[in-house]
Amino acid sequence: MAALSNNTIAWPKRAVVTAGMPYGNKPLHFGHVGGVFVPADCFARFLRDRIGAENVRFISGTDCFGSPINEGYRKLVEAGEFEGDIADYVQRNHDLQKKTLDSYDISLDIYEGSGLGYCGEVHQLISEVIIQRLYESGHLQRKSTLQFYDAEAGTFLNGRQVVGRCPVQGCKSEHAYADECDLGHQYAPEDLIAPKSSLTGTTPEMRPVENWYFDLPSFAEFLRAYADGLAADPEVRSIVSNTIKEFLVPPVIYIKNEAYEEYRAIAGDLPRHSYREAEKGKASFEVEFKTIEDRDFAREVLAKAGIRFRTGKALVPFRISGNIEWGVKVPTIEGLEGLTVWCWPESLWAPMSFTMAVNDKMGLPRGSWRDFWCSDDAQVYQFIGQDNLYFYGVAQTALFEALSGTDILKPEQTDTPVRQTKLVANYHILFHDKKASSSSAVKPPTADELLDHYTAEQLRAHFLALGLDQKSVGFKPKPYDPDETKRDDPRVADPVLKEGALLTNVYNRLARSCFYEAQKNFDRLMPVGRVSEGVRERALATMNEYERIMHRVELHSIMSLMDDFIRWANKYWSDGIRTVEKEHEGDEEAARAARRQVLLDSFYLLRVVTLLMHPVVPTGAERVCDYLNFEFADFFSWNYDFDSMEELCGAAELEQGGHLVRELPPRFDFFEKHPSQLK
């Protein structure tokens, strides 16, 4: 006999789910929603059903700081397209983002901003405490580094006001900024190839500034052991451990083969290093150093000699502070004042401060955030894009290790470390077959524009089915097909509607059949009693497999599993009714008993389908529950044996032999098509 039991699966007692923090400089495009927010929302909703809503925090918010925001604001003001200060600009974009997420049924427990409202206040406080703790524990370095300065404009340039080519070996990005390219590679500003100021178009100077840096290279051994542990875990996507390991190699400089003689002439001036000739077909040879300091010294020697080079990926000090006025304030340490936190480090600990803020708003004790971030029976799941794995997999991992044992807000709990998170990294969601971003030549539709052609539930189901946990996949909405002749051709199917058809056709049919049969022949009573053994076994086997898939967070497999199960459930109904009519023709009493059993089984299947589809398409699933006349908290819970529908019913209903459902109007759709699809 099947049983709902996955003894090998252990869910945490409490969980945090994060969905990154979009910059506050623009609306959300489809990649934000389809690549991160919808998968994170699906998983957070499942956890609420599985371990209790009170034990889950789904966290995100607008990243209010960073050079993209400063630059976006500057351009709009200069063009006369925006009035108000930069806080007004961020607030406007935040409000638009929140409205979009609501349109897609993204059920965040908090969506505020790192510089807005109460969250902003808490975030400022926590940032100050964390930086102070990092300094006191010896993990911060005060360094004088070079920063781009536009002599014509008379100002230092922020990260997005300098553009050039990425200097990291093997990277072909032409959209590189001061110290980070659009593919997420980090490098020293002075290594940027062909820098230009976006303010004046001139080549900027390099002038020294002092800032705080986190000693990331000192965590190399810890990160190696951590990455090895991830690689051995079958439930961690290989892209996570592989990306971390890319940065754990010795510091290397790549020099073009034609500069070999020039290199030989100054090789004795370089720190001790290893030379490796170019591999067959490669254009550069390699020079490897023991430390990042040796590599940086070598860069200066090579630059003075006029030898062009590129650097490889390596652990470099992680910048904590910057000189932009709009940002989280850095506490004054060693007399160094007036600095703000670089947007990336503060965005890594922002989910912690947001958890504190939402718990405060819920009236929970101030230290309750530790129950979610530090307890052995808790887990943090962070949904991110592959481009951000350096920050979350490398920098954040080392930062959290450095913070372990420090007294963040509660000194008496210094023995309770911040636990490492589970990174759920998705590959790129492409627009048709090309990577799309708002800064690229391929302009993607905004998330809002897609809702002019599809319902949110059609899009949610399709995004989850794409399989971004496996590889980069193209999103190919027919209304945006590059071939205009296909857009209005009824013979060309819309790939986005494949999963939607399961909802609007098959799932609708199963639900309607149950309700209309109950209304027509059973006085609107959902029968209760023993479920047919084959039906129960199929349902429980599906639930067990569903739970295993969820534990691996392989959401595309959820859609495949549910496609099979919903179609089977619908077929069970239609075949069952046909069998009743065929085998009991003329025997009204036997026919009624047989119809009652088919309906009892089908309502049970509808219950299981609706519970499992709740994280995917919550609005339609809750509409089914509403017409079934059950409380959401009871219906959407895994805390039952799932032997029958009786466990949801009261004593009077069991005595009566049925549960009264709401009357369903004629031709009712629990899942609707978009109006544009009804032409």
DSSP letters for 311-323 = EPP---PEE-EE-
Residues shown for the chain:
679
Per-residue pLDDT band for 1 (boundaries 50, 70, 90) equals: very low
* Whether pLDDT at 226 is above 80: yes
pLDDT in the model for residue 284: 95
483-534: pLDDT as tens digits: 888 988 889 999 999 999 999 999 999 999 999 999 999 999 999 999 999 9
Biggest CA-to-CA distance, the chain:
103
Q: Mean of the pLDDT values across residues 69-85?
A: 92
Distance CA 392, CA 380 (A): 12
94-133: pLDDT as tens digits: 999 999 999 999 999 999 999 999 999 999 999 999 999 9
Q: Mean of the pLDDT values across residues 340-348?
A: 95
User: What residues contact 192, with CB distance under 8 A and at least 6 apart?
Assistant: 162, 164, 165, 166, 167, 176, 177, 178, 179
* Whether pLDDT at 408 is above 70: no
DSSP string, 476-494: --GGG-SSHHHHT-TTS--
Angle at 319 between CA 314 and CA 323, to 5 degrees: 145
186 vs 16: which has the higher pLDDT: 16
Residue type, 88: D
* Whether pLDDT at 6 is above 80: no
Q: Mean of the pLDDT values across residues 63-77?
A: 90
- Whether 252 and 296 have beta carbons less than 8 Å apart is answered as no
Distance CA 419, CA 372 (A): 9
* Whether pLDDT at 268 is above 80: yes
Across the chain, how many H-helices and E-strands are there? Answer: 24, 21
Question: Which residues on neighbouring strands pair with residue 378, listed in sequence order?
Answer: 14
First to last CA, the chain: 49
- Whether 614 and 632 have beta carbons less than 8 Å apart is answered as no
Average pLDDT for the chain: 92
Nearest to 93 by CA among 438, 564, 582: 438
pLDDT in the model for residue 412: 45
Nearest to 130 by CA among 421, 390, 418, 420: 418
pLDDT in the model for residue 152: 84
Question: Which residues on neighbouring strands pair with residue 318, listed in sequence order?
Answer: 214
- Whether 58 and 109 have beta carbons less than 8 Å apart is answered as yes
128-183: pLDDT as tens digits: 999 999 999 999 999 998 888 888 877 778 777 888 988 877 787 778 888 778 77
Among the residue ranges 39-43, 364-368, 381-385, the one predicted with the least confidence is 364-368
67 vs 389: which has the higher pLDDT: 389
pTM, entire model = 0.92
User: What residues contact 529, with CB distance under 8 A and at least 6 apart?
Assistant: 597, 600, 644, 646, 657
Residue type, 296: D
Q: Mean of the pLDDT values across residues 455-477?
A: 95
Distance CA 53, CA 633 (A): 9
User: What residues contact 138, with CB distance under 8 A and at least 6 apart?
Assistant: 215
Angle at 249 between CA 231 and CA 229, to 5 degrees: 20
- Phi-psi category of 2—alpha, beta or left, where left has phi over 0 and alpha has psi -120 to 50? beta
Percent of the chain residues past pLDDT 70, beyond the cut: 96
For residue 562, give both structure tokens: 């549910």
The sign of the dihedral angle between the CA atoms of 638, 640, 641, 644 is negative
Nearest to 204 by CA among 146, 264, 280: 146
* Whether pLDDT at 184 is above 70: no
Q: Which residue has the tokens 């959290």?
A: 400
Q: Mean of the pLDDT values across residues 321-344?
A: 93
Distance CA 341, CA 330 (A): 6
270-325: pLDDT as tens digits: 999 999 999 999 999 999 999 999 999 999 999 899 998 988 889 999 999 988 88
Q: Mean of the pLDDT values across residues 432-442?
A: 67
Distance CA 306, CA 6 (A): 64
- Whether 430 and 472 have beta carbons less than 8 Å apart is answered as yes
Distance CA 117, CA 94 (A): 12
In three state form, how does the secondary structure of 192-206 look?
A: CEEEEECCCCCCCEE
pLDDT in the model for residue 637: 97
* Whether pLDDT at 187 is above 90: no
444 vs 436: which has the higher pLDDT: 444
- Whether 624 and 670 have beta carbons less than 8 Å apart is answered as yes
Per-residue pLDDT band for 414 (boundaries 50, 70, 90) equals: very low
Strand duo 56-62 + 110-113: pairing: parallel
Among the residue ranges 255-269, 416-430, 456-470, the one predicted with the least confidence is 416-430
Q: Which residue has the tokens 């998705």?
A: 426
3-state secondary structure of 238: helix
